[in-house]
């Protein structure tokens, strides 16, 4: 996956200034500024909760790296992931909610976080940290990452103009990005371990009818070969049991997602794959800590579900704060 580096500038809020101006505790801290986190912030801001958003990489998350989104309501002609992310961000910025770029390393049951060695406390936390693309875990992947191996077609597609490249995977992301890559590549081969794609039928039809896209069925990649760049892929066919080696100039990998939950899995309950368990109100196993978006255990990972979950999480957080920190309860938070 292409690494996106955010350099802090004078125009970005600094952690020290946030603490100095707003205090070292908030009503709500939202970890992650993807569709779920930004929607949660929108609802929290409208409820006048003192809110801080923390994002470690890119506003919009993985949605921002998607070339075209065609299944989000309100955009019948489709919209780019970056444009949609900007619209989400614009709504949040109007509420003057600070967005800080940093990596949360720890959260605690008392609803505090550690970031850059500093502790910030909140009355409630919403985890909306999303996912990262899974790796194949085969020989050559780590060594050739960034030298012919990519996890983001929107980021790196233009570097593969007139080249013969492959996409590993069979879901929506793999097929969508394969279609996008035909803008640049001479030939795009989709390598899938089964004999049928898992993507939406409309995407499958589009891919199968594209003259630049070729299917390699029932196959897995065993090794990625090349000295300085990707030169070939060693494949194993599950049906025929035959091993082959095919020349290739690039490989884009979309074989699933890993939740960004390592900072929280010792605190809240997760499933065996690390996705955070929640109830229908987005409550985790710890009171006052909520989760939403792609980081939670669910059946459908889509932008539209993430935004709905973000709204529910913010409303649940608001209710928790009002009940837990009412005047009658006389509870306070100290830094």
Render pLDDT for 127-142 as a digit per residue (tens, 0 to 9). Answer: 999 998 899 999 999 9
Helices (H), the chain: 15-22, 35-46, 81-93, 153-156, 172-181, 201-208, 303-324
- Measure the CA–CA gap between 335 and 333, rounded to whole angstroms: 7
What is the pLDDT, as a whole number, of residue 10? Answer: 44
Q: Is the pLDDT of residue 8 over 90?
A: no
Report the alpha-carbon angle 280-56-151, nearest 5: 90
Report the alpha-carbon angle 32-33-37, nearest 5: 80
Give phi and psi for 289, each to the nearest 5: -115, 125
Q: What's the average model confidence in pLDDT over 45-66?
A: 92
- Measure the CA–CA gap between 75 and 289, rounded to whole angstroms: 33
What is the pLDDT, as a whole number, of residue 22? Answer: 47
Bridge partners, 95 (sequence order)? none
In this structure, the number of other CB atoms found within 10 A of the CB of residue 125 comes to 28
Provide the pLDDT confidence category of residue 299 given band limits of 50, 70 and 90: confident
Q: Which H or E element spans position 142?
A: none
Half-sphere exposure of 53 (CA within 13 A, CB side): 32
- Measure the CA–CA gap between 334 and 23, rounded to whole angstroms: 10
Report pLDDT digits (tens) over 230-242. 999 999 999 999 9
In this structure, the number of other CB atoms found within 10 A of the CB of residue 8 comes to 12
Which range of 10-14, 141-145, 157-161, 309-313 scores highest in mean pLDDT? It is 309-313
Residues labelled as active-site residues: 152, 155-156
Q: Which H or E element spans position 19?
A: helix 15-22
Provide the pLDDT confidence category of residue 325 given band limits of 50, 70 and 90: confident
Q: For the chain, which residues make up each domain, given as ranges?
A: 15-132+257-324, 149-253
Q: What's the average model confidence in pLDDT over 5-12?
A: 44
Find out whether 114 and 104 touch, Cβ atoms under 8 Å. Answer: yes
Tell whether domain 149-253 is in CATH 3.40.50.1860.
Answer: no
Query: Is the fold of 15-132+257-324 the same as that of 149-253?
Result: yes
What is the pLDDT, as a whole number, of residue 1? Answer: 35
Give phi and psi for 250, each to the nearest 5: -170, 155
- Measure the CA–CA gap between 174 and 197, rounded to whole angstroms: 10
Tokens read off for 228? 């300085």
The CATH number of the structural domain formed by 15-132+257-324 is 3.50.50.60
Tell me which residue has tokens 């790296």: 65
Whole-model pTM? 0.80
Q: Which H or E element spans position 153?
A: helix 153-156
Half-sphere exposure of 111 (CA within 13 A, CB side): 28
Contacts of 282 (CB under 8 A, 6+ apart): 126, 290, 291, 292, 296, 309, 312, 313, 316
Tokens read off for 306? 């993430």
Tokens read off for 294? 């792609």
Contacts of 307 (CB under 8 A, 6+ apart): 35, 36, 39
Going by C-alpha positions, the residue among 249, 269, 251 that lies closest to residue 259 is 269
């Amino acid at each position: 996956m292409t690494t996106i580096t955010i350099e802090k500038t004078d125009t970005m809020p600094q952690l020290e200034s946030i603490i100095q101006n707003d205090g070292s505790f908030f009503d709500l801290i939202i970890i992650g500024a993807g569709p779920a986190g930004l929607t949660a912030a929108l609802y929290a801001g409208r409820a006048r909760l003192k809110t801080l958003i923390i994002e470690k990489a890119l506003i919009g998350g993985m949605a921002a790296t998607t070339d075209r989104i065609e299944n989000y309501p309100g955009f019948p002609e489709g919209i780019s992931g970056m444009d949609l992310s900007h619209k989400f961000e614009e709504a949040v910025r109007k509420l003057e909610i600070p967005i800080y770029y940093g990596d949360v390393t720890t959260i605690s049951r008392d609803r505090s976080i550690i970031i850059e060695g500093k502790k910030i406390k909140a009355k409630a936390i919403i985890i909306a940290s999303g996912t990262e693309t899974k790796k194949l875990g085969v020989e050559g992947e780590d060594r050739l990452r960034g030298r012919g191996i990519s996890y983001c077609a929107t980021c790196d597609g233009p570097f593969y103009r007139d080249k013969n490249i492959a996409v590993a995977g069979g879901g929506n992301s793999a097929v969508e990005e394969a279609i996008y890559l035909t803008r640049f590549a001479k030939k795009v081969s989709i390598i899938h371990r089964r004999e049928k794609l898992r993507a939406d039928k409309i995407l499958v039809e589009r891919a199968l009818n594209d003259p630049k896209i070729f299917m390699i069925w029932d196959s897995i990649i065993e090794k990625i070969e090349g000295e300085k760049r990707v030169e070939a892929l060693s494949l194993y066919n599950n049906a025929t049991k035959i091993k082959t080696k095919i020349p290739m100039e690039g490989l884009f990998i979309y074989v699933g997602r890993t939740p960004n939950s390592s900072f929280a899995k010792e605190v809240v309950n997760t499933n065996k794959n690390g996705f955070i368990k929640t109830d229908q109100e987005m409550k985790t196993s710890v009171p006052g800590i909520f989760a939403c978006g792609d980081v939670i255990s669910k059946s459908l990972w889509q932008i539209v579900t993430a935004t709905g979950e973000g709204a529910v999480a913010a409303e649940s957080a608001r209710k928790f704060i009002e009940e837990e920190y009412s005047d009658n309860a006389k509870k306070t938070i100290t830094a």
